[in-house]
Copies of this chain bind each other. A is one copy, B any other.
Amino acid sequence: MSVRIFEVGPRDGLQNESKNLSIDARFEFIKRLVEAGHSDIEIGAFVSPKWIPQMEGSLSLIKKVLAAYIDGPRFWALVPNAKGFEDSLESGIKNIAVFTAASETFNLKNINTSIDGSFERFNEFLPQAKKAKMRIRGYVSTCFGCPYEGKVEERAVLKVAERLLKLGVHEISIGDTIGVANPKQVNALVKKLLKLVGPKKLALHFHDTRGLALTNIYESLEQGVNMFDSSAGGLGGCPYAPGAAGNVATDDLVYMLREMKIKTGIDLDRQVGASKFIQSEVDRELPSRFLKSRP
């Protein structure tokens, strides 16, 4: 058995750190992740540095990474709109991610448009992306709970996933943005998602805000999910609970899978090396338990 790990540290992780890193530091981080054996790394976002200063210089960084690793792993960039898509074309990146949410209020507060509005934005550039043979990933936020609406109905998640499938995305990442999912809830929703999306296109994206990320991954694994998003060292955080943990740590996930004899292609020692590097760059103790056990 094998699992595909989608490393979001250089984008989702760094984007939620208070310290802004140089292009050189981000490049070095990505280099170490490549050397650890990652198949998928999200390395930047084509967003305005006015809104997300942590992602400033993504275009140069991505050009540099793509030039350095011609036969490298799949590198991904987040594209929020047509303007960002132009930059993605210029960068030469072949894999892009778009995002929406299962909660209307979250979408409005986060990207200032409704769920319908986010799909209208996708329509402005996804047809061209498909023509350019780009691989497309759709993120769906707040699938297990919303900081504004509270409970999120399963049918809201399934409806958004279905719309993304109709758009022809290649994979869908179902996010527990605020880290409120529990394994019982995961069991129920994942069963329905596997039927709708299928195991090849389905990724789960858990945050460890309340300590349940690995348990939710374990339950998803048991149901047949085999793609998970994670960030090195647990880089990132939760804007809705300052001080809390962010994305599940790649280190902890790789350790769990390795102990269960599930292949990931990732070398745990090198992963720890990459995480320690970025830990010293962001200059705070990262939440990964496995990292702390290896002082």
Chain A interface residues toward B at CB < 8 A: 179-180, 182-185, 208-212, 214-215, 218-219, 238, 241-245, 249, 252, 255-256, 259-261, 287-290, 292-295
Contact = CB atoms under 8 A, between A and B. Distances in A.
A218 B238 CA distance: 24
Among A244, A252, A287, A288, find the residue whose CB has the most chain B CB atoms closer than 10 A: A244
A136 B213 CA distance: 35
Nearest to A184: B260
Given A183-B218, A184-B260, A241-B293, 16 more contacts: A180-B259, A208-B289, A209-B293, A211-B249, A211-B256, A211-B288, A212-B259, A214-B214, A215-B256, A238-B293, A241-B294, A243-B292, A243-B295, A244-B295, A245-B292, A287-B289
A248 to B, nearest CB: 9
Nearest to A217: B215
Nearest to A179: B293
Nearest to A187: B260
Given A210-B290, A244-B293, A295-B243, A182 B260 contact: yes
B289 A211 contact: yes
B209 A241 contact: no
Contacts of A241: 292-295
6 pairs of A and B residues whose beta carbons are closest in the complex: A211-B289, A182-B259, A211-B252, A244-B293, A241-B293, A215-B215
B242 A185 contact: no
Contact of A295 (B184, B212, B242, B255): B242
A249 B255 CA distance: 20
A255 B210 contact: yes
12 contacts: A179-B293, A182-B259, A184-B261, A208-B289, A212-B214, A215-B256, A218-B219, A238-B293, A242-B295, A243-B292, A243-B295, A244-B292
Contacts of A255: 210-212
A235 to B, nearest CB: 15
Nearest to A212: B256
A57 to B, nearest CB: 31
Among A219, A252, A255, A259, find the residue whose CB has the most chain B CB atoms closer than 10 A: A259
